[in-house]
Amino acid sequence: MGEILTAAQMRAKENKAIQGGFAHGLTLMERAGQGVVDATFRVIGEARDGFMSAVVLCGPGNNGGDGFVIARVLHEMGWQVQVYLYGDAGRLPPDARTMYDRWVAIGPVSPIKDAVSGQGDRPVLLFDAMFGIGINRPIPAVCAQAFEAICTRATGPECFVVAVDCPSGMDVDTGAVLVGPDGANTLLERTDLCVTFHAPKLGHYLTEVGRQRPAVVDIGLRPEDEVVTQLVGPCGGPAKEWLQSVTALGAGGHKYDRGHVLVLGGGVGKGGAARMAARSALRVGAGLVTLTVPPEAIPENAAQLNAIMLRPLDGADALREMLADKRLSSVCLGPGLGVGDRTRALVLAALEETAQDGRRVVLDADALGSFAEDPQALFEACHAGVVITPHEGEFARLFPDLAERTRHSDPAATGLGKVESTCRAAERLGATVLLKGEATVLADPEGRSMIHAALYDRAAPWLGTAGAGDVLAGLIAGLSAGEQARTHAPIDLAGAAAWLHVECARQFGPGLIAEDLPEQLPAVFRNLGF
Ligand SMILES: NC(=O)C1=CN([C@@H]2O[C@H](COP(=O)(O)OP(=O)(O)OC[C@H]3O[C@@H](n4cnc5c(N)ncnc54)[C@H](O)[C@@H]3O)[C@@H](O)[C@H]2O)[C@@H](O)CC1
Ligand SMILES: [K+]
């Protein structure tokens, strides 16, 4: 899994390298600027004769410093480069000032307001080096206007927009674009490629910044030595190797080694969600799956199930008795269970029975909805083996204060990014939280956090379909049941489930309905080389 940083972590890393004497700020900036140019040409290919024009928009901080390096590197390659600066050159920070001086020995710098008229030809390349990780308020209107005016100049080729570190105005911790009262910021939507340094930042995987994943330039900083957020996935290596340890599939062995999942289902006519969860648990590798439902719902379920076993369940006491059998190695509650007292009692019974031995419990949908009036009761009962899988609405009902502060558009000092609020929720709960979305965020009470982004080359918008969440809950329960699960933290299993969920959707393609997801798993595993 790859590592992703907050702005503060990136700054700390740079400061440590510079103060520790491992790197000079100017060297880092030189590598950053050169790296942006290299990454750009890797994507667009070599320049076409006669169309070698670029514009670099530089800001008042070190992001602007990168811009002056970019301008110089392009000039040395024979490009015609126009450079615009927002702010006063006399107030640039020292490294950026040095890079400015090196550029002005080569070519002119115009004030950014000169670009607002839209005169001149559109350049082939437009570099946004106005603001990077140092932005703390919306970008000045003149910067947004100059950018837009260049993109919409009347003549010239379509320009390819490169965001240096991030589209200016993006808060890299939350992925939110800071927009002032005086205008729009079109930088995010117009960005073709974002090139960042050392490691992606959270915002790059909470929001799409460009038409493909951001390019990451190695500027010579050391790898992470502290806990940082991880990006779920095989991260360059073969997916099979990564999944082999997390799933029970590599193990072979007896069905009992692959665990026994208990899924609780709802009443008559409400059984589809739990059946999909159960089927997903079985397909993803659990050895056995039992669905347990109110006695009156047995005939309906019996008519639908074959490989999945079926047992009647009267209520919470009966569930306690059932869970006294420790061979039931993970439990999934919520899909189609119904909101209300019965579900509350079932959840509390399951949590109590599993608290001592750390058996894994997945709580989704109605299992969470049943605690909307009294989240504290859920917090008190949860233990480290639990994974909750709320969507944003369910999250807001359990953690109203955190949700309020996470509203995407709120860049105020009290705002929280999705990652930070999920971490706080996990801490409060004492259990793992998987907050669903295009960018799914996971956090556990040990302080680990992950993002699983269904963005860029892993976008699967058709996954937003009824019942997809029930499948995800079943996948997590299925991965949590086997012997192998004992050596993995719940967050790692939940992350792998989220990855497989999206992989199924991507391999199936548009037209997908939730039932297709577990049926796609065999092809997914086969294509991965299992
Ligand atoms: N030596 C280093 O520290 C390196 C820094 N790098 C670059 O430096 C960037 C961070 O540099 P900085 O910390 O200087 O921050 P930025 O260049 O992102 O911008 C901060 C500057 O803009 C001002 N500012 C913020 N919001 C503003 C607004 N709305 N209106 C007007 N001014 C505003 C701040 O007061 C500050 O002067 C990174 O994103 C990266 O591009 C890279 O060159 C790698 C090496
Ligand atoms: K930028």
Query: What pLDDT sits at residue 417?
Result: 86
CA-proximal residue: ligand 1, atom 33 (nearest): 135
- Residue type at 467 in one-letter notation: G
β-pairing, 125-129 with 160-164? parallel
Residue pointed to by tokens 């670009």: 115
Give me the count of residues in the chain: 530
Instruction: Using the mean position of ligand 1's atoms as its centre, give its distance from the Cα of residue 168 in Å.
Output: 10
Q: What is the DSSP letter of 176?
A: P
Cα separation of 151 and 123, whole Å?
A: 8
Q: At what angle do helices 272-283 and 468-479 cross, to 10 degrees?
A: 40
Give, in order, the Cα–Cα distances in Å from 462 to each of 453, 454, 505. 14, 11, 7
CA-proximal residue: ligand 1, atom 41 (nearest): 63
- Among all bound ligands, the one having the nearest atom to the CA of 188 is 2
Output the ligand 1 site: residues, CB below 6 A: 14, 25, 28-29, 32, 59-66, 93, 95, 131-140, 164-165, 197, 219
The full set of domain ranges for the chain reads: 2-225, 239-528
Provide the CATH topology of domain 239-528.
UDP-N-acetylmuramoyl-L-alanine:D-glutamate ligase (3.40.1190)
Instruction: Using the mean position of ligand 2's atoms as its centre, give its distance from the Cα of residue 131 in Å.
Output: 5
β-pairing, 309-312 with 288-293? parallel
Query: What pLDDT sits at residue 238?
Result: 86
Query: What pLDDT sits at residue 94?
Result: 97
β-pairing, 449-453 with 439-443? antiparallel
- Rounded to the nearest 5°, which phi and psi values hold at 312? -75, 150
- Among all bound ligands, the one having the nearest atom to the CA of 99 is 1
Exposed / middle / buried, residue 465 (Cβ in 10 Å: 0-12, 13-18, 19+): middle
CB 419 within 8 A of CB 425: no
Instruction: Using the mean position of ligand 2's atoms as its centre, give its distance from the Cα of residue 122 in Å.
Output: 19
- Residue type at 37 in one-letter notation: V
CA-proximal residue: ligand 1, atom 15 (nearest): 134
Please give the number of the atom of ligand 1 that sits closest to the Cα of 138: 29
- Rounded to the nearest 5°, which phi and psi values hold at 289? -135, 130
CB 371 within 8 A of CB 137: no
Residue 28 has which token pair? 């880092």
Cα separation of 55 and 110, whole Å?
A: 11
Please give the number of the atom of ligand 1 that sits closest to the Cα of 166: 39
Query: What pLDDT sits at residue 76?
Result: 97
- Residue type at 285 in one-letter notation: G
Instruction: Using the mean position of ligand 2's atoms as its centre, give its distance from the Cα of residue 216 in Å.
Output: 14
CA-proximal residue: ligand 1, atom 39 (nearest): 132
Per-residue pLDDT of the chain in tens (530 residues, 90 and over written 9): 689 999 999 999 999 888 888 889 999 999 999 999 999 999 998 655 568 999 999 999 999 999 999 999 999 999 999 999 999 999 999 999 999 999 999 999 999 999 999 899 999 999 999 999 998 788 999 999 999 999 999 998 889 999 999 999 999 999 988 877 776 788 999 999 999 999 999 999 999 999 999 999 999 998 877 778 999 998 778 899 889 888 877 656 677 789 999 999 999 999 999 999 999 999 999 999 999 999 999 999 999 999 999 999 999 999 999 999 999 999 999 999 999 999 999 999 999 999 999 899 999 999 999 999 999 999 999 999 999 999 999 999 999 999 988 875 554 556 778 999 999 999 999 999 999 999 999 999 999 999 999 999 999 999 999 999 999 999 999 999 999 899 999 999 999 999 999 999 999 999 999 999 999 999 999 999 98
- Among all bound ligands, the one having the nearest atom to the CA of 33 is 1
CATH architecture, domain defined by 2-225:
3-Layer(aba) Sandwich (3.40)
Rg (CA), the chain: 26
CB atoms closer than 10 angstroms to residue 522: 11
CA-proximal residue: ligand 1, atom 16 (nearest): 134
Cα separation of 206 and 416, whole Å?
A: 13
Question: Which residue stretches of 45-140 are H helix?
Answer: 62-76, 94-104
Residue 132 has which token pair? 């990077």
- Among all bound ligands, the one having the nearest atom to the CA of 61 is 1
Handedness of CA 39, 40, 44, 50 (dihedral sign): negative
CA-proximal residue: ligand 1, atom 44 (nearest): 29
Which residues carry a binding-site annotation for AMP?
436-440, 469
* Sequential DSSP letters for 16-28: HHHHTTS--HHHH
Instruction: Using the mean position of ligand 2's atoms as its centre, give its distance from the Cα of residue 133 in Å.
Output: 8
Give, in order, the Cα–Cα distances in Å from 450 to each of 5, 9, 412, 418, 500. 11, 15, 24, 11, 15
Cα separation of 483 and 507, whole Å?
A: 28
Q: At what angle do helices 7-19 and 25-44 cross, to 10 degrees?
A: 130
- Rounded to the nearest 5°, which phi and psi values hold at 447? 95, 5
CA-proximal residue: ligand 1, atom 42 (nearest): 29
β-pairing, 193-197 with 160-164? parallel
Which residues carry a binding-site annotation for (6S)-NADPHX?
62-66, 132-138, 165, 273, 336, 391, 470
Q: Nearest Cα to 248, choosing from 479, 476, 473, 474?
A: 479
Fold matches, 2-225 and 239-528: no
Which residues carry a binding-site annotation for K(+)?
63, 128, 168
CB 113 within 8 A of CB 142: yes
Candidate from 5, 18, 62 with most ligand 1 atoms within 8 A of CB, to mutate = 62
Q: Nearest Cα to 107, choosing from 85, 128, 127, 131?
A: 85
Question: Which residue stretches of 182-335 are H helix?
Answer: 187-190, 239-246, 272-283, 298-302, 316-323
Instruction: Using the mean position of ligand 1's atoms as its centre, give its distance from the Cα of residue 131 in Å.
Output: 5
Cα separation of 516 and 2, whole Å?
A: 29
